[in-house]
Amino acid sequence: MMEIIRDDLRNIAIIAHVDHGKTTLVDSMLKQSGIFRKNQIIAERIMDSHDIERERGITILAKNTAIYYGNVKINIVDTPGHADFGGEVERVLKMVDGVLLLVDAFEGPMPQTKFVLKKALELNLPTIVCINKIDRPEARPEEVLDEVLDLFIELGGDEKYLESPFVFTSSKEGTATLDLNVKKDNLEDLFQTIIKYIPAPNVNIDEPLQLLISTIDYNDYVGRIGIGKIERGKIKTNQEAIIVNENKKDEIKRVKITNIYEFEGLNRKEVKESKAGSIIAVTGVEGIHIGDTICDVDAPEPLPFVKISEPTIAMTFSVNDSPFAGKEGKYMTSRQLRNRLFKEMQTDVSLKVEETSSTDAFKVSGRGELHLSVLIENMRREGYEFQVSKPEVLYKYENGKRLEPMEMVTVDVAESYIGIVIEKLGMRKGELISMSESNGGYHRLIFSVPARGLIGYRGEFMTDTKGNGILNSVFDGYGAYKGDIVTRKEGSLIAYETGEATAYGLYSAQDRGELFITPGTKVYKGMVIGSNPKGMDIEINVCKKKHQTNIRAAGSDEALRLAPPRQLSLEEALEFIEDDELIEVTPTSFRIRKKILDSNKRHKSKK
């Protein structure tokens, strides 16, 4: 069997920490490779096609694109930097022959960089290091270069990694240079380095087909779309093929390949056939899953696949049964909720959805708080209305011992905030592992913290450090149970009756604590409308009106002064609620409520 080297092709993945300019660099590469017409109007961060990705400035889904440099096609996969989406990263690396490691010229290597780079080294992938944002006023590229080399040594990389090429780039300006003293005005040096250092796929085209599916896309017209790299052989449209999986070798499905697409720029271009080494998308493969191999009918040989990281956090999603149910959303039945959750599972491998004893509730498990809050936010925008419970971590039991998921947390803060961070994480059973002075007067603290201790801490951290701290966490295996953590100290202020909140009612309620609502907000009995610092639940009538009298006293008609309410984001609400509370999620609002709305029944259940 003859192996050939496809010199017209390179497959690379871009890996980096959140916010180091990965998606922006891909934009510049696309613009300079002549994929777009001269006068075409292009959005910023083209690759982040998803609304939430654009708003939060993070990449959640791995995406594929391709550019041409001369007559070489470079397939680029943009990977997420958040550890919550680590399941995406591992799979993507299976499709490529090398990685582009992007590091911020000021921040240097960060925990997520380390997490993703470790995966790349395990697969022995050649690496090009891009030191990005060299145009930042406080950039320190030479020091960061040394930090990256230290990282290679720390992760046990081969000697060849210490000789990896370094390219200095500014993704915003679209420039790259191999020598900091020579200023360039394009990405030519980066393109040439990719062609030179990333190996061309070495493949067998005459052997039977093997295509490993690494990502699944879904489209209402064609159903499931499998995306992956052809490991050997060729694939043609209308070809008969079979689907097999390394873990379930006995299950074999016959399929017919309807369409084949290759990537070009941001589009998918339909082709009649494609050969080994190419990254493609195929349709007509119903029932395909991530990790399946599409094989030749006569040679069912599945390829091994990355083990997907297990979920660490679970919540219950249930049908909305509040008095306001059905007023704001389009989809609210248990059947619609069930279909939507199971559909999400088809494209998101790290998510797990299970039925519960009630037909109206489903247990949804994911990689972290961010992972689940992005799903809630997506469903809300699509018009779903439902309720979610407080997130809880998933424990494991070994030899009669309870183990819990741990996170490695890296915090960068100014010296004046070190005390409060250590104190707060200590209360959440965090253990300080190391502390060092990093650049620019910042200190880097590394903690080992139980995953449950981090639920809702991010918001508090931002307040404590006045928005100047940086906090990152990476899943760090399971450890022995660390004991109980005291979470919220506040009690809830609960609406006593259904109606519309009045300024008069809220004015007398605000002496009891902090309010979450404004005058005119519709409330129902059992809804949580504020927090009480004394730690007790108090029922308050916020709908009462002022009695009219015919005696006019001077000053009685002055406006009632209300303190501005605390607007909770979804993450803050998830952190705030207790076990006997739920969040009602609709396309237009979040409401916190007691599970049992009636106060008498609530007191009985507590006893």
Mean pLDDT of 571-588: 88
Per-chain mean pLDDT for the chain: 80
The pLDDT of residue 39 is above 50: no
Residue 599 phi, psi dihedral angles, 5° rounding: -65, -35
Per-residue confidence (pLDDT) for residue 314, from 0 to 100: 92
C-alpha span between 513 and 535 (Å, rounded): 10
pLDDT range class, residue 8, cuts 50, 70, 90: confident
pLDDT range class, residue 51, cuts 50, 70, 90: very low
3-state helix, strand, coil in the chain (%, to 5): 25, 35, 40
Per-residue confidence (pLDDT) for residue 199, from 0 to 100: 87
Most confident range, picked from 44-48, 82-86, 134-138 = 134-138
Per-residue confidence (pLDDT) for residue 149, from 0 to 100: 87
Per-residue confidence (pLDDT) for residue 50, from 0 to 100: 44
pLDDT range class, residue 367, cuts 50, 70, 90: confident
| CB neighbours of residue 353 within 10 Å | 18
Fold match between domain 203-295 and domain 396-480:
no
| CA torsion angle 488 493 497 502 (round to 10) | -130
Please write the tens of the pLDDT for every residue from 582-592: 999 999 888 99
Give the architecture-level CATH label for domain 3-200. Answer: 3-Layer(aba) Sandwich (3.40)
Per-residue confidence (pLDDT) for residue 137, from 0 to 100: 80
Is 23 annotated among the ligand-binding residues?
A: yes
What phi-psi label fits residue 375: left (phi over 0), alpha (psi between -120 and 50 degrees) or beta?
alpha
Is 135 annotated among the ligand-binding residues?
A: yes
Is 82 annotated among the ligand-binding residues?
A: no
Please write the tens of the pLDDT for every residue from 430-482: 999 988 876 566 788 889 999 888 877 877 787 888 877 777 777 778 889 98
Is 134 annotated among the ligand-binding residues?
A: yes
C-alpha span between 120 and 227 (Å, rounded): 20
| CB neighbours of residue 295 within 10 Å | 23
CB proximity list for 338: less than 8 A, separation 6 or greater: 362
Is 22 annotated among the ligand-binding residues?
A: yes
Per-residue confidence (pLDDT) for residue 363, from 0 to 100: 94
* Domain positions in the chain: 3-200, 203-295, 396-480, 491-548+560-606
Per-residue confidence (pLDDT) for residue 556, from 0 to 100: 53
Q: Evaluate whether 594 touches 518 at the Cβ level (below 8 Å).
A: no
- As a whole-number percent, the residues of the chain with pLDDT over 90 amount to 13
C-alpha span between 271 and 263 (Å, rounded): 10
Q: Count the residues in the chain.
A: 607
C-alpha span between 214 and 306 (Å, rounded): 9
Per-residue confidence (pLDDT) for residue 97, from 0 to 100: 86
The pLDDT of residue 54 is above 90: no
Assigned fold of 396-480:
Alpha-Beta Plaits (3.30.70)
Give the architecture-level CATH label for domain 491-548+560-606. Answer: Beta Barrel (2.40)
Please write the tens of the pLDDT for every residue from 277-332: 888 888 777 777 777 788 887 877 877 776 666 788 899 999 999 999 989 889 88
C-alpha span between 156 and 14 (Å, rounded): 21
What class has domain 203-295? mainly beta
Q: Evaluate whether 354 touches 426 at the Cβ level (below 8 Å).
A: no
3-state secondary structure of 112: helix
What is the Cα 66 distance to its own chain's centre?
23
The pLDDT of residue 176 is above 50: yes
DSSP conformation class of 418: H
What is the Cα 216 distance to its own chain's centre?
17
Is 79 annotated among the ligand-binding residues?
A: no
